[in-house]
Amino acid sequence: MPRNVTTGQISDPFPVGEDAGDDDPEVRRRRAARALQAVAFDTIGAGYGEAFPAKDGQLACGRLLLARLEPGAPVLDVGCGTGDPTVRQLAAGGLRVTGADLSDGMLALARRTAFPGVFPPVFHRIDLYDLATERADRVWNAPELGPDGRGRFAAVTAFFSLILLPQDEIPTVLGRLHELLRPGGLLALGMVEADLDHVPLPFLGRELRISGYLREDLERVLVSAGFAVEECSGHPYAPASTSLPPEEQLFLCCRRVG
């Protein structure tokens, strides 16, 4: 199967070509749950941007990265969705952007978009839990996001993608993002401020399991994963969809240490 080509409009539970039988039951359970989330985002598609049109905090983090990074610096957007606004903003600013997402539907929309900038973005379908592991290459055909990519990226962005993980998996994924960053690399993170651990909540006609942290707890998790928190700001947010409750969004700009 060629790289950077989706397997279809609706996300497959397992990538084409994978021998799923080598997974233990816990891995299969986790991956099945993640596949259901991906299918939910397949059906949401462009409706996500319509429900969350204001992206002030996210765009502010992007401006900070553009001010701190050299032209052409490689950046990984984890949970890139359709590519708006982060891939668009960073590509237009002259950075080399790689987008990663598990939703085939979202990636199909991203790949059909003509993004501005000198360097066309590259998109990969991958479970973010597999970043910086050998599964990135063996399962997802993305060696640059596996062990070969350690220290590759000048920055990583993860806006509201880690909220889809259970709290006990978030430190592991943060550790893997730490591995993909070069020493001193930047992490821009968006989370919901709430004490939630994989709680099922209605979301744009689907049910998703959402996690969050209180601000002090999130900063402790980041420090334990090897990041220095340089900036943290909170933004009250009322989604355009009346079916979704208001929320407090946290945006953190961090730097890899160690």
Q: Which residues pair with 235 in a beta bridge?
A: 249
- pLDDT(34) > 90: no
User: How large is the average pLDDT for residues 106-126?
Assistant: 96
User: How large is the average pLDDT for residues 238-249?
Assistant: 66
Q: Which pLDDT tens digit goes with each residue over 120-139? A: 999 999 999 999 999 999 99
From the CB of residue 27, how many other CB atoms can be counted at a distance below 10 Å? 13
Which of 49-53, 216-220, 244-248, 250-254 has the weakest average pLDDT? 49-53
> pLDDT band at 8, cuts 50/70/90?
very low
How far is it, in rounded angstroms, from Cα 176 to Cα 133? 8
pLDDT at 2: 35
Does 6 fall in a domain?
Answer: no
**Residue 190: which domain range?**
20-256
User: How large is the average pLDDT for residues 92-98?
Assistant: 98
Does 241 fall in a domain?
Answer: yes
pLDDT at 32: 78
> pLDDT band at 38, cuts 50/70/90?
confident
Does 12 fall in a domain?
Answer: no
Token duo for residue 169: 């998996």
pTM of the model as a whole = 0.87
User: How large is the average pLDDT for residues 82-86?
Assistant: 95
> pLDDT band at 1, cuts 50/70/90?
very low
Selected residue with higher pLDDT from 61 and 243: 61
User: How large is the average pLDDT for residues 243-249?
Assistant: 71
Q: Is residue 247 classed as helix, strand or coil in its secondary structure? A: strand
> pLDDT band at 239, cuts 50/70/90?
low
Does 232 fall in a domain?
Answer: yes
Selected residue with higher pLDDT from 159 and 239: 159
How far is it, in rounded angstroms, from Cα 223 to Cα 208? 27
pLDDT at 5: 37
pLDDT at 246: 67
94 vs 50, 55, 133, 140, 146, CA distance in Å? Answer: 27, 20, 28, 27, 24
Per-residue b or e along 143-160, where b marks 16 or more CB atoms closer than 10 Å to that residue's CB = ebbbeebeebbbbbbbbb
Which of 27, 159, 28 shows the shortest CA–CA distance to 88? Answer: 159
- pLDDT(189) > 90: yes
Does 5 fall in a domain?
Answer: no
Residue-wise DSSP of 28-61: HHHHHHHHHHHHHHHHHTTHHHHHS---HHHHHH
Q: What is the C-alpha R_g of the chain? A: 17
Q: How many domains does the chain have?
A: 1
How far is it, in rounded angstroms, from Cα 158 to Cα 147? 19
Token duo for residue 188: 């821009």
3-state secondary structure 104-161: HHHHHHHHCCCCCCCCCCEEEECCHHHCCCCHHHHCCCCHHHCHHHCCCEEEEEEECC
Does 184 fall in a domain?
Answer: yes
Chain length of the chain: 258
pLDDT at 21: 46
Token duo for residue 11: 């996300």
Does 14 fall in a domain?
Answer: no
From the CB of residue 135, how many other CB atoms can be counted at a distance below 10 Å? 20
pLDDT at 11: 56
- pLDDT(158) > 90: yes
- Tokens 């090897």 identify what position? 226
Does 4 fall in a domain?
Answer: no
From the CB of residue 53, how many other CB atoms can be counted at a distance below 10 Å? 8
Which of 147, 130, 160, 152 shows the shortest CA–CA distance to 247? Answer: 160
Q: What are phi and psi of 138, to 5 degrees?
A: -65, -40
Q: What are phi and psi of 103, to 5 degrees?
A: -90, 115
Summary mean pLDDT of the chain: 86
CATH value at residue 200: 3.40.50.150
